[in-house]
Chains A and B, each alone.
Chain A
Amino acid sequence: AQSVTQPDIHITVSEGASLELRCNYSYGATPYLFWYVQSPGQGLQLLLKYFSGDTLVQGIKGFEAEFKRSQSSFNLRKPSVHWSDAAEYFCAVGTGFQKLVFGTGTRLLVSP
């Protein structure tokens, strides 16, 4: 069965430091991969998505992610974190028409 693993439940990063959130997936075919962000008590907003082609994808708010097929990974990165980036981040894999499987999320805390 398809699955997504986000191994870090919480991550704390100093403001201005770089960020990498890990995501590993299990899926037999070429995956469609997504990163979403959720502020407390809110819905999810799409940061970026990978379908095919260039394995480094750019998203909104200065985020990027790199698809590595050999490692079954799709890690999210940002070179310099802002306090407003504090939120929960979800990785998801598209498993077929309109169906997504989500990871359990990583909560990002930003320290001054």
Chain B
Amino acid sequence: DGGITQSPKYLFRKEGQNVTLSCEQNLNHDAMYWYRQDPGQGLRLIYYSQIVNDFQKGDIAEGYSVSREKKESFPLTVTSAQKNPTAFYLCASSIIEEADEQFFGPGTRLTVL
């Protein structure tokens, strides 16, 4: 079945450690996205990528980094510079058309202790 997978579902890290969240899609979509979700704040865009080896900052990119070495993969690293990393992280993908829908993965809940 085509879809987006995110792993792990739950992730615990100590403060000051970098952590990488995985996102893989087999939908053959060109565009991929990372969102952060906090209670009462909806979804906020962290980074997005429209093509391999290229990506752009979203609204809250500080303290995060990404790479796009393969079309199907878009890992997100939460660095120690992110001041409040505990959140629910959602990955999405879409085709390259202006108004097409984004398909979402199941999410990763990151808790920093």
Contact = CB atoms under 8 A, between A and B. Distances in A.
A53 to B, nearest CB: 12
A104 B102 CA distance: 17
Contacts of A103: 42
Interface of B: 4, 31, 33, 40-45, 48, 50, 88, 90, 92, 94, 96-107, 109
A102 B102 contact: no
Contact of B99 (A41, A42, A94): A94
5 contacts: A97-B97, A98-B31, A98-B96, A98-B100, A102-B43
Interface stretch (A13-21, A44-52, A66-74, A77-85): A44-52
Interface residues of A, number: 24
Contact of A46 (B40, B41, B96, B101): B101
B41 A98 contact: no
Nearest to B43: A102
Contacts of B101: 34, 46, 49
Contacts, number: 60
Contacts of B96: 97-98
B48 A44 contact: no
Interface in A87-112: 90, 94, 96-100, 102-105
B106 A43 contact: yes
Contact of B42 (A34, A90, A99): A90
A104 B104 contact: no
A36 B102 CA distance: 10
Interface in A30-66: 32, 34, 36, 41-46, 49, 51
A46 B100 CA distance: 11
Contacts of B99: 32, 49, 51, 94
Interface of A: 4, 9, 32, 34, 36, 41-46, 49, 51, 90, 94, 96-100, 102-105
B63 to A, nearest CB: 20
A9 B40 contact: yes
B42 A94 contact: no
Contacts of B45: 99-100
Contacts of A44: 43, 90, 92, 104
